[in-house]
Copies of this chain bind each other. A is one copy, B any other.
Amino acid sequence: MARLSVRSSDIRPSPVRDMLNVSQRPGMISFAGGLPSPETFAGLDLPPPPRDLLQYGPTEGEPALRARIARDLAALGLDTEADRVMVLSGSQQGIDLAAKLVVDAGTTLAVESPAYLAALQVFRFYGARFGIIDRSSPGAGWGEAPPSMAYVIPTFQNPSGHCWTADERAAMAAACRASDVILFEDDPYRDLVYEPCERRPACAGMTGGSWIYQGSFSKTVAPGLRLGYLTASPDLFPLLVQLKQAADLHTNRLSQWMVLQYLNDPGRAERMDQVAALYRRKRDAFADALTRHLGNNASWSLPPGGLFFWLTLAEGTDVERLLKRSVERGVLFTPGSHFLAEGGASPTIRLNFSLADPEAAERGLAILAELLDD
């Protein structure tokens, strides 16, 4: 038998991955993934890219794209510059690089509850243990042994849809600075905004501290290009560049060029408004259908942005059994327990509203209601 690393003994199939396989079955209505609606994707009618992009490129990314991203991030209040922006092969890569940088077996990280499950998986793989962040008092309990890093999605969180207040963001940054905790802010949904709410990055309050801020073009341009970016405090940035170099040398250069064309397109702001309007309509129709079908069986908040509803069902609901029966009926969702760092059962589910068309969403929610009424 092959001898593998200790960390590999814990590799398990991702529950989401298995569900995505099920979701490929014809006729399946999937509320499970986080797939954007294809009608939001940027077009492919671009001029031919420059041929010199076919050669190896810089690890940090294309200079013109880095400069453009730095300008946008500085406008959000982040203390950054082009030399401290790195283009990623999708923002999942940023999570892996941050974990490599910070996590040994037994390292404590602070996370939200619920938290993004693919981040929890990566952190666990490197051996992390978890403490839960109390948003109203983020440094509470850190005492003598604070976590090494806090991972948060303050804006339209996955899976809860929650958006942190200005005070919560400031308190999080202050707690991290006070205890030398790295603040790792993941911000892939910030442009999918349906209601006014605070969106200033928490990392904007981290000057003098250690922080990593990352974003993604998967929701605003197209996921198939696998393009994200990060910026970080000066102590961490060069280390992240070297980890990126070891991971894949650099990110696809043609995609970087394409995304730069989209960012520089004068019609971009209008297009993003249309994307947000489209998703707002989908969210509202989904909320309507939820109220009609599940109003007596579940509670939720209207998400002010992002791609998900987070539902709390009756205490004691057997969510795994619900999922099994639901899949038999052709409807897929993600059990909330997968998003809990602390583990254990939970009468919660995450529903994605961006992919299914309104008619399919209606049918899918009616089936869920039937099963819950049983």
Contacts and interface: CB of A to CB of B under 8 A. Distances in A.
Contacts of A41: 51, 54-55
A247 interface: yes
A107 B44 CA distance: 47
Nearest to A241: B17
A104 B7 contact: yes
A1 B180 contact: yes
Given A182-B2, A255-B252, A54 B246 contact: no
A113 interface: no
A253 to B, nearest CB: 4
Contacts of A45: 48
Q: Which of the listed residues A7, A89, A225 has the most CB atoms from chain B within 10 Å of its own CB?
A: A89
Given A102-B3, A255-B254, A225 B89 contact: no
**Interface majority SS (helix, strand, loop, mixed), chain A:** loop
A118 interface: yes
A4 to B, nearest CB: 6
B59 A11 contact: no
B101 A8 contact: yes
Given A44-B48, A252-B226, A252-B255, A246 B56 contact: no
A224 B92 contact: no
Interface string A26-40: 000000010110100
Contacts of A8: 100-102, 239
Given A45-B48, A56-B35, A103-B5, A11 B250 contact: no
B38 A101 contact: no
Contacts of A13: 238, 242
A307 B230 CA distance: 34
A13 to B, nearest CB: 7
Interface in A106-143: 107, 118, 121-122, 125-126
B53 A224 contact: yes
Given A222-B55, A248-B92, A101 B5 contact: yes
A90 B182 contact: no
A61 to B, nearest CB: 12
Given A7-B104, A51-B41, A56 B2 contact: no
B107 A5 contact: yes
A334 interface: no
A247 B5 contact: no
15 contacts: A1-B235, A2-B148, A2-B210, A5-B101, A5-B102, A5-B104, A17-B59, A35-B56, A38-B55, A41-B54, A41-B55, A55-B222, A89-B252, A92-B249, A225-B253
Given A2-B210, A8-B239, A11-B242, 19 more contacts: A2-B235, A2-B236, A3-B180, A3-B182, A5-B100, A5-B101, A6-B104, A17-B242, A38-B52, A41-B51, A41-B54, A44-B51, A55-B224, A57-B224, A89-B248, A225-B252, A226-B252, A252-B252, A252-B255
Interface of A: 1-8, 11-14, 17, 33, 35-36, 38, 41-42, 44-45, 48-49, 51-57, 59, 89-90, 92-93, 96, 100-104, 107, 118, 121-122, 125-126, 148, 180, 182, 210, 218, 222-226, 235-236, 238-239, 242-243, 245-255
Q: What 10 pairs across the A-B complex have the smallest Cβ distances?
A: A54-B222, A2-B210, A224-B253, A41-B54, A3-B148, A56-B223, A54-B224, A252-B252, A93-B248, A89-B248
